Structure 1
């Protein structure tokens, strides 16, 4: 009997049945898509970490024999223990360890070190890989939470999807309270009523959930391919491969069916607990517990606005998901576009525009000292180019207080400007003094540029310090660091204060060589030739392992021209050196592609949230049609025209779509204002590039879909015989 009744109800009440079908399909689709994207993102992050940093979980280094590696392999829970040839040398072995249960890595690694007689300071952990598996150091008070944040977002969106199905069932079942009251009065038990409603849920949702799940998997595959196409050509990025674990599918299907079961059971339980008298008395209409005047709507739209306000208040709980989803989606979309706009302006200021005349092609020679590089003449001989070959080193400069410039003293002294960036002992300041070691011909050309006649032996000092009292980091102004009568500077080894050397000062200048370098605000940068560096290298040491080649084109600076220079440079360097080459224009293209990829991912999440909200609006609007028939029949009985009903629907749609906009725009404006102030940008720079068109398009789509939902629901109400609705309920 109950089975026949459920089948008959589904056939004769297509609107409410379609509402539940669509809600189940959309929820399963989005849940499948979200789970698939999260799993693929997680898998890609792990692949990237393994490719860049190696597939190890714990690392141990020390002066032990190779045969002791077998002891590590025999340790309980150790899966593999391999010697890292790239990091090991004659005195120290470095062993990369993987575990069967990696969650025990922070407990097992100290035990292994103790067994080998090695201090725990020789133990290191692959934190970036372990954190991807949600494994963090128990002693770390600030563990990385990025993956946990993504998981939280996934759960938050999943809850929103669950509410869509719940609301659809709630609307459908609440519309039948009167009917089930009659059944209860003639002997139907609460258990029979719950069973009837749950079997309806099963019949309606099994096929939509399965179809939605498979469509979600297909969309995940398409999204991965789209990301690969957008990111094609980005240097250093490996292609994302679609992956889908059976466990993900099992969890998603189980979650979907549990969602359906819980969503149907909650209103069914509430309905079955009502007394027959309460149920029969229930008309299925929207009820407002406490009426309040909607003064703004009444003032703007008259009686229809007042009625629309009361209807929205009565639907407040059921529309909560829609309001939250639409607000979050629009807020996220607007903030995302504003953030990327500000980020792009800032990046252009600090990188692309700042260094566009400083370099066109850069090569980084890995683990190669400038003295070991044998292609210097060939690099300088490249046609129509200007090139500099240089290496960097670290040193500390000792300066007396009397050597400071008058400008520094007038600003409150070095302590007042640099603060903790400098230290002082016995009247002598210890100041960071980075050394830029240029090949001899490049250094000679630089000295000629700044008017130094004898560049053989000595240092050119970048004599400037940031005036942070009268300028900000965006638009820096500098004052002289030292007074102009410095004949020599004393450089010290940062790791051995007793190792010091005095070298002549060839010039104090505020004009650095044209290099792609960012110099410290409170440092005394030293530019020296390779010949000078050879004389002080033994004392200062601390040279960085890589050498750099900066090339500027003297012809048309197009992508084709720079690519040709890049190819020539690659041919000169050959295969005997490990190097990386960068192309300024190509790097900007890659940067834009990465930003577009980020926009696509975050924008897709915002669109997903918007679709969840819109789906909830459709679910509520179409599902409440039966409940609102009596409401509008009464309005017509007292003289409301169809035009007035349409106006009322328009007001409701306007409020539902307009509320997220009214909340979001002021919040976004405050966010943009704070970001502009924090970054010291000119506000007009942002407004000239503000994402007005995408935001306006998003608003238009938002209003369009909400309006469409109300149009479809209102058309169904206006098509039915409202006089008959007041007379009896259809069984």
Structure 2
């Protein structure tokens, strides 16, 4: 170790307080980077494990593969395991539920039964092709009481739509129109099977699916050349090239169809959607950039103040022959020493902090969200390397500028300490209005700010970074949650009942069942209208400019969904949007609430788009037209006028059971009596009941026990629960991120201001020595705080808006909605900045107020 480095270490030891402040600043920065990296890896790991627990583990699925094709898949270098599966339907003639008349066979090999979530409630899983395990729901919903050991003979085949001729999947409900069945079962094989166990209804089976799940066995050892199965592949390594690799493999060996587990792959950061990939990369870049800038700001301030304080020390080195390079390397060496101490401690602190946070979060997500998996602290080499790499980079950037400044300090200037403060009349000139309006203390405070610009700018820069960090991250998290909600259906109910031949008394009977906590009865009718071009949303206007053939007499045809709520539900809905329900029950003119905000996925681009459904005003009228017949031959069908309805209110809130319209459609919400008032053909009105229940499965069983064959039951509880879990998990992650950033920002501000105040001991001692009273001193500090806050906000808010706009543009690759500023967050930042600055300055002043004036005037180091 050379003499310069020895002197640097000795100086660090002698100035313990200043060295400790610098070390703490670096530790905070490293802990932030480590916590963010670990939080990201751990959260993605939770999502991966939760998805596997709910829907099984597979990355690529090769459909209908033969024995030879299967062997080629197994030999592929990217293949880790192959789970075989096949499906089929058989009639369940003894079913109580006419909308679930099938047994749905889901057959797996041994590996498949381990990779897919199958929970055995009694007995065991099948071990050969002649054994099955049935769902518990079959035993409770079939007339025959199936028991373990029973044998049954079934004809297994596929479902086909009679009109369209297409095969139907398990997620497609039973197809019927009243008493007319629109699908048929085409058997392909007959098998005799033995029941060896029962399973709980699997999570992948929607409540509205037409078949009860039966688990069968695929025996690869007896696989014939004429048989075909689905190969569900788990890859050795999940990487972006898997899409091209799987398609190439399929093409090479004649496999016709390949599916990808998009839900699971998304959590690995892998997607074949170019716009979504661009969104992920650009968002990651913006957020990582914000974090690096925040870290650099925190560490730079620490080293900048350190070099400013070491000016005399560096000048003395220069006076005894130290070169520019040696002085510069002295600062770099100091950074290396600080980094060697701080980085390990910072990484450990970040991991411990996140680990403790996970303990509290796990209790919340397990109890409130019914999530089976827990957040685990995932420490990967990548996360540690990222934390170390970014920390080293930020320390180097933070020390580079101070090192360059240190090399240029002359011996005389350094010893006299004149390099930081270079005064002129113009530099400290203030407006006469400042003294007239705010007093002498405010003028002195403003001159103090201007007198030492470097420390002033360091503090302002710290505040600006804090503002940008908070607003950028909060905007990012709010929009991330909004984007997630746009991809989810707004299923705010547990059970949907539908039927076109039900009387109101029958509908009301379902709302009085046990466990039902809330209910809505709705009558729905679809009509059309013609909208003037000036009332169309911007997206439709753009489409019309490209093709005006869709216009009829200069107007655009819209589909209109009339949603008639029962009076109690309508009253609640009207109150929630801030209007009076009584205004919509007038006898003279039918009046409706228009849902003027829509969210939909564009089938052409795959984008999720939020737009206005209609640009209209309260008081405008809409002419309702009956739907044209489906077999018309004219180019422009004649529409029969039904009635006119007035717009009584516009809202972006939808009531329970109403689904967002697409572009070119609009939802009207009215009381149920308005449907009759409009004169809609009763044959075109469909009835729905939406139920919320404390026990949805028990409620469904009670409905089925009523044995009403004209009612169709959709139990969407499980699906809605998964959507809510995802949104709540994302909220926990994002608000945890905001909290972390907020604490880091506050620590940054306190560190910068307290260190800056400590370096001004001599200045404050001088003011007290010439007679400034404690009251005047406090007043001066208050005005300085205001000047700092105003200056920081004048820079921080515009920069934050630019970054927020960049985030919005990045999300625009996949999600399209209007840009709006988070005014509440901005107001919160304005208030908090002044509170934090004032608190930090008062806290720092309180520590030096009682010091002796003489000692303060003599002070050189802290």
Report if TM-score (shorter chain) is over 0.5: yes
Q: Which has the higher strand share?
A: 2
Which of 255, 259, 271 aligns to 2:406? It is 271
Q: Distance in 1 between the 2:323 and 2:746 partners?
A: 37
SS of 1:318's partner is helix
Aligned residue for 1:112? 249
Question: Mapping of 1:173-322 within 5 angstroms?
Answer: 173-190=307-324, 192-193=326-327, 196-197=330-331, 200-201=334-335, 204=338, 206-233=340-367, 237-247=371-381, 248-257=383-392, 259-260=394-395, 263-264=398-399, 266-283=401-418, 285-287=420-422, 291=427, 293-295=429-431, 297-298=434-435, 299-302=437-440, 303-311=443-451, 313-322=453-462
Structure 1 residue 508, shift from structure 2 partner: 11
Structure 1 residue 23, shift from structure 2 partner: 0.6
Aligned residue for 1:34? 36
Aligned residue for 1:516? 657
Q: Which sits farther off after the overlay, 283-292 or 650-659?
A: 283-292
Structure 1 residue 657, shift from structure 2 partner: 3.6
Question: CA 1:221 to 1:625, structure 2 compared with 1: closer, same or farther past 3 Å?
Answer: same
Q: Distance in 1 between the 2:535 and 2:848 partners?
A: 79
Aligned residue for 1:617? 749
SS of 1:117's partner is coil
Structure 1 residue 177, shift from structure 2 partner: 1.4
Aligned residue for 2:240? 103
Question: CA 1:659 to 1:51, structure 2 compared with 1: closer, same or farther past 3 Å?
Answer: farther
- Any conservation in 1 of the 2:33–2:387 contact (CA below 8 Å)? yes
Q: Distance in 2 between the 1:380 and 1:716 partners?
A: 67
Structure 1 residue 116, shift from structure 2 partner: 2.1
SS of 1:79's partner is strand
Q: Distance in 2 between the 1:190 and 1:466 partners?
A: 73
Q: Distance in 2 between the 1:158 and 1:518 partners?
A: 42
Q: Distance in 2 between the 1:711 and 1:465 partners?
A: 54
SS of 2:25's partner is helix
SS of 1:245's partner is coil
- Any conservation in 2 of the 1:633–1:726 contact (CA below 8 Å)? yes
Q: Distance in 1 between the 2:557 and 2:838 partners?
A: 69
Aligned residue for 1:18? 20
- Any conservation in 2 of the 1:181–1:276 contact (CA below 8 Å)? yes
SS of 2:241's partner is helix
Q: Distance in 2 between the 1:633 and 1:490 partners?
A: 91
Please state if 1:325 is matched with 2:465.
yes
Output one character per residue of 1:507-548: Cα deviation in whole Å (capped at 9) or x when no partner: 9999xxx993448575999xxxxxxxxxxxxxxxxxxxxxx9
Question: Mapping of 1:88-99 within 5 angstroms?
Answer: 94-99=230-235
Output one character per residue of 1:394-450: Cα deviation in whole Å (capped at 9) or x when no partner: xxx9x9xxxx8xxx579699999998999799xxx99989999xxxxxxxxxxxxxx
Question: CA 1:228 to 1:482, structure 2 compared with 1: closer, same or farther past 3 Å?
Answer: same
- Any conservation in 1 of the 2:460–2:792 contact (CA below 8 Å)? no
Question: CA 1:580 to 1:415, structure 2 compared with 1: closer, same or farther past 3 Å?
Answer: closer
Structure 1 residue 318, shift from structure 2 partner: 1.8
Output one character per residue of 1:54-95: Cα deviation in whole Å (capped at 9) or x when no partner: 544444435x52331111222343434444435997797543
Structure 1 residue 599, shift from structure 2 partner: 5.6
Question: CA 1:190 to 1:109, structure 2 compared with 1: closer, same or farther past 3 Å?
Answer: same
Aligned residue for 1:532? none
Aligned residue for 1:686? none
Question: CA 1:187 to 1:67, structure 2 compared with 1: closer, same or farther past 3 Å?
Answer: same
- Any conservation in 2 of the 1:364–1:581 contact (CA below 8 Å)? no
Q: Distance in 1 between the 2:726 and 2:262 partners?
A: 25
SS of 1:85's partner is strand
Q: Distance in 2 between the 1:387 and 1:276 partners?
A: 83
Question: CA 1:145 to 1:272, structure 2 compared with 1: closer, same or farther past 3 Å?
Answer: same
Q: Distance in 1 between the 2:738 and 2:355 partners?
A: 19
Structure 1 residue 472, shift from structure 2 partner: 5.4
Question: Mapping of 1:363-512 within 5 angstroms?
Answer: 408=529, 479=622, 481-482=624-625, 490-491=629-630
- Any conservation in 2 of the 1:103–1:135 contact (CA below 8 Å)? yes
Aligned residue for 2:840? 709
Question: CA 1:228 to 1:151, structure 2 compared with 1: closer, same or farther past 3 Å?
Answer: farther
Which of 41, 44, 47 aligns to 1:45? It is 47
Aligned residue for 1:441? none
Q: Distance in 1 between the 2:476 and 2:279 partners?
A: 20
Q: Distance in 1 between the 2:764 and 2:731 partners?
A: 45
Question: CA 1:702 to 1:465, structure 2 compared with 1: closer, same or farther past 3 Å?
Answer: closer
Output one character per residue of 1:684-711: Cα deviation in whole Å (capped at 9) or x when no partner: xxxxxx998x988876654443233323
Output one character per residue of 1:660-691: Cα deviation in whole Å (capped at 9) or x when no partner: 567889999999xxxxxx999xxxxxxxxx99
Aligned CA-pair RMSD:
6.2
Aligned residue for 1:648? 780
Structure 1 residue 325, shift from structure 2 partner: 3.0
Question: CA 1:70 to 1:176, structure 2 compared with 1: closer, same or farther past 3 Å?
Answer: same
SS of 1:154's partner is helix
Q: Distance in 2 between the 1:564 and 1:98 partners?
A: 36
- Any conservation in 2 of the 1:563–1:583 contact (CA below 8 Å)? no
Q: Distance in 2 between the 1:95 and 1:195 partners?
A: 61
Structure 1 residue 20, shift from structure 2 partner: 0.9
Q: Distance in 1 between the 2:549 and 2:367 partners?
A: 44
Q: Point out where structure 1 has 5 or more consecutive residues left out of the alignment.
A: 371-375, 437-463, 499-504, 526-547, 553-558, 672-677, 681-689
Q: Distance in 2 between the 1:321 and 1:633 partners?
A: 26
Structure 1 residue 265, shift from structure 2 partner: 5.5
Question: CA 1:389 to 1:115, structure 2 compared with 1: closer, same or farther past 3 Å?
Answer: farther
Report how many aligned residue pairs link the two structures.
Answer: 604
Aligned residue for 1:73? 74
